[in-house]
Amino acid sequence: MCGINGIVSFHPSAPPIDVDELTRTREAMRSRGPDAAGTWLSPDFRVGFGHRRLSIIDVSERANQPMVSREGDAVLTFNGEIYNYAALREELEREGERFDTTSDTEVVLRMYRKRGEAMLPQLRGMFAFAIWDARTNALFLARDPYGIKPLYYANDGKTFRFASQVKAILAGGAVSTSRDPAGIVGFLLRGHVPEPFTIYEAIRELPAGSSMVVTRDGPSAPRSYFSLATVLRDAVNEHRRYSDGERAEIIARAVRESVRYHLVSDVPVGAFLSAGRDSGTIVALATETGIPLQTVTLRFEEYAGTHKDEAPLAAVTAREYGTIHQTQTLSAEMFRRSLPHALEAMDQPSLDGLNSYFVCKAAAELGWKVALSGTGGDELFGGYSTFRIIPRFIRTFGVFRHMPALANAFTRMQPRMARNGARFSPKTPYTLKYCTSYEGAYLMKRGHFLPDDVSSVVGEEMAREGLKRLGIMELIREAITPDPGTPFTRVAALESSLFLRSQLLRDIDWASMAHSLEVRVPLVDAFLLREVAPAVISMSGRNGKELLAASPKQPLPAAILGRKKSGFTVPLRDWLAHERDVTKHFGARPWALHVLHAGGHLAVAP
């Protein structure tokens, strides 16, 4: 896991690159790669790469980056891990390739020279990388299918810049810090800044599962090589039927294989352990390989003795599978002391991520460099309530799609009802307006502020401009294009493409990298998705989480299997009550406003 950056002066009139800027950008990502730093410059000073390294596979200096091909015609700066690199290496060796390291980085470089862009679907892992190809005088950038690893860029028409972090690009000092209304409005609506937008007008994110090329004519439009909606649609179109036993076997085999791949490392691997099924399953399957496994659980003082305290049940799971287990307790005082550092590490505004920040902090304090996480199980196996609620919304309110006048009348009635003492979510008046389509129902369920009320936070002008640039309904609709085909697969595509990709995975990245920790997510894997999708979508009872939990040979403890899902939450309302009137706004809105103001993205508090 690393931090990458680069500058390309692609236009003939652009000046040579500023080496100091390249270094400032690289060093702003020191925590992403404390083990080594490297720089590569083209002979004409029109291309430069930087790299900060966290050594995981082939920890020797020979695997440091940027890495130049033996022929001298290709240079790679790479962030991530390729878990099937050994098999890919063997395949290349059979084709006559030879290698100077045992790193996955060199495998990526040799594959690119031999296969170019066609290699991307063969890479099993998490990655974001850039390759300068001297044969074509072009820059090639790519990002993994789920977007586990980030990649941001800025183009001023003459010079192209990229890095693993938004703040790193800004640290170079050559990119405007003007805020993007679309980014701010997107955060208020979704709790994160939807890709490809960022909080800054000049910086964009390369979409997950995409690549792009920069030539002397400038950057191409990002080109997708992976579509989650397409994978789900193809699985639906197979029209295959499985018995419960066949489904269980397919899921167990595929998840076990994914966990095995995610254990590939030249340093010890630990695991986050909660009281849930997902992390318990990952831990159980990891111990089946025979490796000694460390686990850690984060608990909160406020939750002690309540059903939200995950530590007791996590300890039961740790004993069941014989892990070396630690429990770290976070107090309100520790939280308040660390909060400024956490907000500074937050590369873009996010409503979530503090839970990840503090559990990563706990792991780093134990000396870990790599940790497994159970993130992704709910999106893949239908664990969220959205899998039931959103289709129910469509069935109940879909008829009102053709009755906009009635929807508007319902919206106008709500203030009168509220004056009569009825208590509603501030989103309730807009039910008939949004809950008539999957994109609208998803925004209604997962959204925080709605398009109709963001002006109360940012003002009419910014709201209008931001909503226009953002196109939130179109962005959400893209996640289910092409149509995955069933209510279950539509929600799976929405949750995986939006909540998982742009919220959870992005939060895990900044939170882990702030502590020089690599977090791996075995349940977020395109190879796994293709294997299990036909079995999961054919279930009549949608009992995917039960089948996931049945994957280990040694069953999960009965207390874990019988526990009601609660999610991994942080007691923010208790901890922030002294700082802001948390009763003034509904749900997570107070924290959203706190994050915006703490980052200086809104000038005046509401």
Q: In order of start, what are the domains of the chain with their CATH numbers?
A: 2-226 (3.60.20.10), 229-381+487-578 (3.40.50.620), 386-485 (no CATH)
Q: What is the spatial distance between Cα 565 and Cα 66, in angstroms, rounded to a whole number?
A: 44
CB 486 within 8 A of CB 501: no
Segments of the chain scoring below 50 in pLDDT:
418-422, 582-583, 604-606
Residue found under tokens 């352990």: 273
**H/E run at residue 432:** helix 431-434
Residue 156 main-chain phi, psi, to 5 deg: -100, 10
Give me the pLDDT at residue 410, please.
Answer: 64
Per-residue pLDDT of 568-582, as tens digits, reads 566 666 666 555 554
CB 126 within 8 A of CB 144: yes
CA 131 to chain centroid: 23
Q: What is the spatial distance between Cα 4 and Cα 66, in angstroms, rounded to a whole number?
A: 9
Q: What is the spatial distance between Cα 506 and Cα 87, in angstroms, rounded to a whole number?
A: 29
Give me the pLDDT at residue 99, please.
Answer: 95
pTM score: 0.94
- Give the 3-state secondary structure of residue 63: helix
Q: What is the spatial distance between Cα 154 and Cα 150, in angstroms, rounded to a whole number?
A: 14
Q: What is the spatial distance between Cα 241 and Cα 539, in angstroms, rounded to a whole number?
A: 9
DSSP summary character for residue 91: H
Residues in the chain: 606
Residue found under tokens 């997708």: 224
The tokens for 360 are 């990563």
List of residues 6+ apart from 22 with CB closer than 8 A:
5, 6, 7, 39, 48, 49, 50, 172
CB 300 within 8 A of CB 570: yes
Give me the pLDDT at residue 420, please.
Answer: 47
List of residues 6+ apart from 399 with CB closer than 8 A:
436
Per-residue pLDDT of 390-427, as tens digits, reads 999 999 987 777 666 666 666 666 555 544 444 567 77
Q: How many CB atoms lie within 10 A of CB 91?
A: 14
Strands (E), 285-410: 294-300, 324-330, 370-372
Q: How far apart are the first and last CA of the chain?
A: 40
Per-residue pLDDT of 171-184, as tens digits, reads 999 999 999 999 99
Annotate 537-576 with b (16+ C-beta within 10 A) or e (fewer): bbbeeebbbbbbbbbbeeebbeebeebeeeebebebeebb
Give me the pLDDT at residue 590, please.
Answer: 83
Give me the pLDDT at residue 78, please.
Answer: 97
- Cα–Cα distances (Å) from 551 to 250, 270, 559, in that order, read 9, 20, 17
* CA atoms within 13 Å, Cβ hemisphere of 121: 8
CB 116 within 8 A of CB 138: no
Torsion sign over Cα 496, 498, 500, 506:
positive
Q: What is the spatial distance between Cα 511 and Cα 156, in angstroms, rounded to a whole number?
A: 30
